[in-house]
């Protein structure tokens, strides 16, 4: 039955996340935005303990959110949207700095062996895909991995690795054989301190400043043979190769809605502060008339709310499909595209509406605007999402529509 309201259990989770974000993240958001490169954020420890304690019960989370007799589920993906949005509304940069919840953890959870999950599951694992010459075209990875006895030897350079400095380990994409294309790309778990792993620098950024974005160099970096994720075999038929890389890309179907949720959070946060300030000036939404019969500022707020609501529902839809085992590549791209650009639009407009107060570092609105920019870039840029949607809708291959 069509119902777009969240069930009580998801709402409870939302309340908890909101409380956590407003208690632990929001009060220190400005401090760490200014501090930028901290080795770690001690204030995040209690939050990390809470979250990691909870994810220990991940197996029961699917039923915790609820399941109906007809099999429809509201499970982990939907919970993720709701909690990520709340955490990002506290501070997106700090959210990405919470120890233990890295993208690498997601990869290990998705494809790791029981032994790998046991060994790395509780550690803080980063993910390194991007290279100086490889961004959206992640199939073009140049970093190599070669088997040498009981070790893999990695060579290459990675950039934009979130938690690459603070993480306990890094999941690294590398190719076993450049001539074999996508199918030869595998991922490897590299522990901090591995011989040949060097931290080159931590980036200075427009937003998400407290989150450590590392450049890493792998110089004959030796790691144990068992640290490969998935099979070391290279698929030998065209079909099998496609499938192998397709499997890798499929993880984006789960992660893109979660990144869209970050945009929901920063946009909501900017709007809420904007309402608070405007209320003092006597500006409130009447929810009456039409956008042509109310002041321009009110009309603009309705437009922002409408675009944000569309982004929210699209993200929930993509997550709901994932929770219910429906293929959602198109919907994941749609929600990321809509939420990504809406995050930029809403936060920047809030800065503009609030004038010098919005532009000022007195409030957090300008910070949310800076933070929002990257959300429309990482995990697939706006343009990549449009490309995916276009190819799906038009039924075109990546060769036909480049």
Partner 1 sequence: MAGEQLFDLTLSEDQRITRENMRRFAQSEIRSISKKADLDQALPAGFLRKAADLGLALLPIPEDFGGAGMPRSPVSNVLNAEDLAHGDFAIALAVMTPQGFVNTLVDQGSAAQQEKYLGALASEEFVPATVALMEPRATFVPEKLETKAARQGNDYVLNGVKSMVILGASAKFVLVVADAGAEGPQAFIVEQGAAGVSFAKEEYMGLKPIEVSRMTLENVKVPASAKLGEGEKAFNLQRLVDLSRLAACALAVGTCQAVLDYVVPYVNERVAFGEPISHRQAVAFMVANIAIELDGMRLLVWRAASRAEQGLDFHKEAYLARVLCAEKAMEIGTNGVQLLGGHGFTREHPVEQWYRNLRAVGILEGAAAV
Q: Which positions from 378 through 397 interact with partner 1, judged by CB under 8 A?
A: 383, 386-387, 389-391, 393-396
- Could you give the C-alpha distances from 313 to 229, 336, 353, in angstroms and in order? 34, 12, 25
Tokens linked to 304: 């922002």
- Count Cα atoms within 13 angstroms, Cβ side, for 322: 29
Task: Please tell me whether residue 293 adopts helix, strand or coil conformation.
Answer: coil
| Residue 114 vs 395, nearer CB to partner 1 | 395
CA 256 to chain centre: 7
State which of residues 60, 281, 288, 356 lies at the interface with partner 1 (CB under 8 A).
288
State which of residues 147, 206, 240, 306 lies at the interface with partner 1 (CB under 8 A).
306
Q: Which of 266, 264, 212 is nearest to 91 (CA)?
A: 266
Does residue number 322 form part of the binding site for partner 1 (CB under 8 A)? no
Task: Please tell me whether residue 113 adopts helix, strand or coil conformation.
Answer: coil
- Rounded CA separation 328/320 (Å): 9
Smallest distance, partner 1 to C-beta of residue 380, A: 13
Greatest distance between any 2 Cα atoms in the chain: 75
Interface segment toward partner 1; rule CB under 8 A; list 38-46, 54-62, 204-212, 307-315:
307-315
The site string for partner 1 over 335-374 (x = CB under 8 A, - otherwise) reads --xx------------------------------------
Q: Measured on CA atoms in the order 170, 176, 181, 184, is the torsion positive or negative?
A: negative
Interface segment toward partner 1; rule CB under 8 A; list 86-94, 198-206, 265-273, 334-342:
334-342
Q: Which positions from 35 through 94 interact with partner 1, judged by CB under 8 A?
A: 66-68, 70, 72-74, 78
Smallest distance, partner 1 to C-beta of residue 74, A: 5
66-74, Cβ contacts within 8 angstroms, sequence gap of 24 or more: 66/7, 66/9, 66/10, 71/324, 72/324, 73/323, 73/324, 74/6, 74/7, 74/9, 74/10, 74/320, 74/323
Tokens linked to 286: 């009447």
Residues classed as catalytic: 379
| Residue 187 vs 315, nearer CB to partner 1 | 315
Does residue number 13 form part of the binding site for partner 1 (CB under 8 A)? no
State which of residues 317, 349, 367, 370 lies at the interface with partner 1 (CB under 8 A).
317
| Residue 23 vs 383, nearer CB to partner 1 | 383
Contact 316, 258 (CB under 8 A): no
| Residue 2 vs 296, nearer CB to partner 1 | 2
Does residue number 297 form part of the binding site for partner 1 (CB under 8 A)? no
Smallest distance, partner 1 to C-beta of residue 24, A: 27
* Beta-strand pair 125-128/185-191: unpaired
Burial 334-368 (b: 16+ CB within 10 A, else e): bbbbbbbbbbbbbbbbbbebbeeebeeeebbbbbb
State which of residues 302, 377, 378, 381 lies at the interface with partner 1 (CB under 8 A).
302
Does residue number 307 form part of the binding site for partner 1 (CB under 8 A)? yes
| Residue 75 vs 194, nearer CB to partner 1 | 75
Q: Which residues bind partner 1 (CB under 8 A)?
A: 1-8, 10-11, 66-68, 70, 72-74, 78, 287-293, 302-303, 305-307, 309-311, 313-314, 316-317, 320, 330-331, 334, 337-338, 383, 386-387, 389-391, 393-396, 400-402
């Amino acid at each position: 039955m069509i119902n777009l309201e969240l069930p009580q259990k998801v709402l409870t989770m939302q309340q908890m996340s909101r409380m956590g974000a407003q208690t632990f993240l929001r009060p220190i958001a400005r401090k760490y935005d200014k501090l930028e490169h901290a080795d770690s954020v001690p204030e995040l420890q209690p939050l990390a303990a809470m979250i990691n304690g909870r994810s220990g019960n991940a197996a029961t989370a699917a039923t915790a959110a609820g399941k109906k007799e007809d099999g429809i589920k509201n499970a982990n993906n939907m919970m993720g949207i709701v909690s990520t949005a709340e955490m990002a509304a506290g501070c997106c940069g700090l959210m990405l700095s919470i120890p233990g919840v890295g993208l690498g953890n997601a990869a290990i959870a998705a494809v790791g062996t029981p032994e790998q999950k046991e060994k790395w599951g509780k550690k803080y694992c980063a993910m390194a895909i991007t290279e100086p010459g490889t961004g959206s075209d992640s199939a073009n990875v140049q970093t190599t991995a070669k088997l040498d006895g009981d070790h893999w030897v990695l060579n290459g350079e990675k950039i934009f690795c979130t938690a690459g400095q603070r993480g306990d380990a890094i999941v690294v994409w590398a190719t076993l054989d450049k001539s074999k294309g996508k199918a030869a790309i595998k991922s490897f778990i590299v522990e901090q301190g591995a011989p040949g792993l060097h931290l080159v620098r931590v980036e200075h950024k427009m937003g998400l400043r407290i989150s450590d974005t590392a450049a890493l160099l792998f110089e004959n970096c030796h790691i144990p043979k068992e640290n490969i994720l998935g099979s070391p075999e290279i698929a030998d038929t065209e079909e099998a190769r496609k499938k192998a890389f397709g499997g890798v890309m499929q993880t984006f179907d789960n992660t893109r809605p979660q990144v869209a949720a970050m945009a929901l959070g920063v946009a909501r946060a900017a709007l809420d502060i904007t309402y608070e300030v405007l209320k003092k000036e006597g500006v409130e939404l009447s929810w009456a008339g039409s956008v042509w019969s109310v002041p321009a500022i009110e009309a603009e707020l309705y437009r922002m709310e409408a675009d944000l609501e569309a982004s929210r529902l699209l993200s929930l839809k993509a997550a709901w499909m994932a929770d219910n085992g429906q293929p959602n590549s198109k919907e994941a791209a749609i929600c990321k595209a809509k939420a990504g650009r809406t995050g930029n639009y809403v936060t920047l407009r809030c800065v503009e509406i609030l004038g010098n107060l919005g532009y000022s570092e007195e409030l957090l609105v300008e910070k949310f605007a800076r933070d929002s920019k990257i959300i429309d870039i990482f995990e697939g840029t706006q343009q990549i999402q449009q490309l995916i949607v276009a190819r799906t809708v038009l039924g075109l291959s990546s060769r036909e529509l480049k």
